[in-house]
Amino acid sequence: MAPSLSPIRSHHVAVIGAGAAGLVAARELRREGHSVVVFERQKQVGGTWIYTDHVEPDPLSVDPTRPVVHSSVYATLRTNLPRECMGYRDFPFVARSGDQRRFPSHGEVLAYLQEFAKEFAIEEVIRFETAVERVAPATEGGNGKWRVESTEKEKRVRRDEVYDAVVVCNGHYIEPRLAEIPGISSWPGKEMHSHNYRIPEPFKDQVVVLIGNSASAVDISRDIAGHAKEVHVAGRSNPADTFIKQPGYSNLWMHSMIERVNKDGSVVFKTGKRFWLMLSCIALELAPWLSFIGIPWQVVPFPLFELQSKWIAGVLSGRIMLPSKEDMMEDIKSLYATLEAQGIQKRYTHRMGIAQFEYNDWLATQCGCPGTEEWRKEMYLTTGVRKRAKPETYRDEWEDHHLISQASQDFSLYTH
């Protein structure tokens, strides 16, 4: 167990990031009685949902000296989950003024997060334009406390402060992951990471290859197809013989993964086909004093962030007891053994999919609150089916009106 946690105890907690995870973490920590300081290097709340047409000068975003642009949001982005499903559990994401669509634009999500921050007076504990430079144990021997070094940009103020605990909510999408492609160092084409994609017009009349099979690849490929000469999407998980023309487009194909690229500008897929491009939640040993919100993916993020935050807040106060380190280590070993037996690579450790609901319900039980609503589970699953079957129209055509009615009944319990 965690004998150093005396029920019920208040702690001084640093939260890093004021996006969707950091905002709800701050709220739950304060609800539990903790004092909170939120560090946010941007000028406003919202994290990755803050759209900017600025992009980094390094198109691959790998230069460590580059000026970092936080957001990966592109101009035409809409959510890939309906608003009823994706909102916080007790702060419904309902249509008011602005974008009324079920699958709204990024601007509507940002407005929702801004309203959430205002409703729960979170901005009063946020230090904007303040970058966390270093987090380290406060003493060499370790006493559970953490030293947080930060710099406030505008006032050029450096702070070196000690906190009882740190909750990291810095998101997934600021540092790029690049595919390792044989021959790429001598390939003459242009490369960029989707982190720096904003609008499709620069790709007019070009031949473009996208690597990836997730939501952003589906959206961006179709965004670009309206302007490019050809668009080819390479997916690591696609079978080696994949070569499928995408319905509704004369210039969009799905492929297997890229096998290599060549000096002549060509790209070779595992099918052998060749195309030429125009040059164009807690750290185990440090538990619970260092924790991470929002690491799982392929999830409904905001409700998961909320439940993780409730759990961490309760553990820090002593209301919820951690299992022993030995038991937690056994759980980790069991997880990796299961992944290995199923042939799943370690990089997919935090990919949850349908398993998220069992995880969420475990967190809810620990926190003493209701589990995931059945309508939310079904809405997530049916949206996934529609998205795969009709990627062009699933956002604007649906048949789950009974689920919308169930959600509305639950939302009537909350007013904001």
**Residues 139-168, mean pLDDT to the nearest whole number:** 87
State mean pLDDT over 128-138: 93
Contact 122, 26 (CB under 8 A): yes
Confidence of residue 8 (pLDDT cuts 50, 70, 90): confident
239 vs 33, which has greater pLDDT?
33
Mean pLDDT, residues 324-337 taken together: 82
Residues 195-222 have a mean pLDDT of 86
pLDDT band at 94 (very low <50, low <70, confident <90, very high): very high
pLDDT of residue 175: 67
Nearest 10 degrees: Cα torsion 172, 174, 180, 185: 180
pLDDT digits (tens, 9 = 90+) for 238-269: 888 888 888 888 899 889 888 888 887 788 88
Task: Report which of 267, 240, 272 is spatially closest to residue 256, judged by C-alpha positions.
Answer: 240
pLDDT number for residue 263: 83
Across 293-303, average pLDDT: 93
* Mean of pLDDT over the chain: 87
Q: What is the pLDDT of residues 152-164, one digit of tens each?
A: 987 788 999 999 9
Percent of the chain exceeding pLDDT 70 equals: 91
**What's the whole-number mean pLDDT along residues 381-400?**
94
Q: Is the pLDDT of residue 122 over 90?
A: yes
Residue 167: strand pairing partners = 15, 291
Residues 87-98 have a mean pLDDT of 92
CA atoms within 13 A on the CB side of 315: 25
Which sign, positive or negative, has the C-alpha torsion 125, 131, 134, 139? negative
Higher local confidence (pLDDT), 189 or 380:
380
Q: Which of the four pLDDT bands, split at 50, 70 and 90, describes residue 171?
A: confident
Q: Is the pLDDT of residue 63 over 50?
A: yes
Task: Give which of 385, 386, 384 is closest to 394, Cα–Cα.
Answer: 386
pLDDT at 56: 75
Q: Binning pLDDT at 50, 70 and 90, where does residue 1 land? A: very low
E strands, 17-68, in order:
35-39
- Laid out side by side, the sheet with 274-276 consists of 258-261, 266-269, 274-276
Residue 229 is classified by DSSP as S
- pLDDT above 80 (res 361): yes
At 287 the pLDDT is 77
Specify the higher pLDDT residue, 308 or 186.
308
User: Which pLDDT score is estimated for 280?
Assistant: 34
Q: Quick one: pLDDT at residue 266?
A: 82
The amino acid present at 243, given as its one-letter code, is: F
Average pLDDT over residues 127-136: 94
User: Which pLDDT value is given to residue 132?
Assistant: 95
Question: Per-residue pLDDT for 42 more than 90?
Answer: yes
Above 90 in pLDDT, residue 352?
Answer: no
pLDDT value at residue 168: 95
pLDDT-based confidence at residue 6 (cuts at 50, 70, 90): very low
Average pLDDT over residues 383-397: 94
C-alpha distances out from residue 309 to 103, 147, 150, 211, 264, Å: 25, 21, 23, 33, 52
Average pLDDT over residues 325-344: 83
Better-predicted residue by pLDDT, 178 or 47: 47
Cα radius of gyration (the chain): 23
pLDDT for 5:
47
Query: Given pLDDT bands bounded at 50, 70 and 90, which one contains residue 307?
Result: very high
Per-residue confidence (pLDDT) for residue 174, from 0 to 100: 65
> Largest Cα–Cα distance in the chain?
67
Question: In angstroms, what CA-CA distances link 261 with 40, 89, 244, 361, 414?
Answer: 40, 47, 20, 46, 55
CA distance 197 to 236: 21
Name the pLDDT band for 173 (thresholds 50, 70, 90).
low
Which of 51-60, 291-300, 338-347 is the most confident on average? Answer: 291-300
Kindly tell me if the per-residue pLDDT of 19 is higher than 90. Answer: yes
Q: What pLDDT, on a 0 to 100 scale, did the predictor assign at position 394?
A: 95
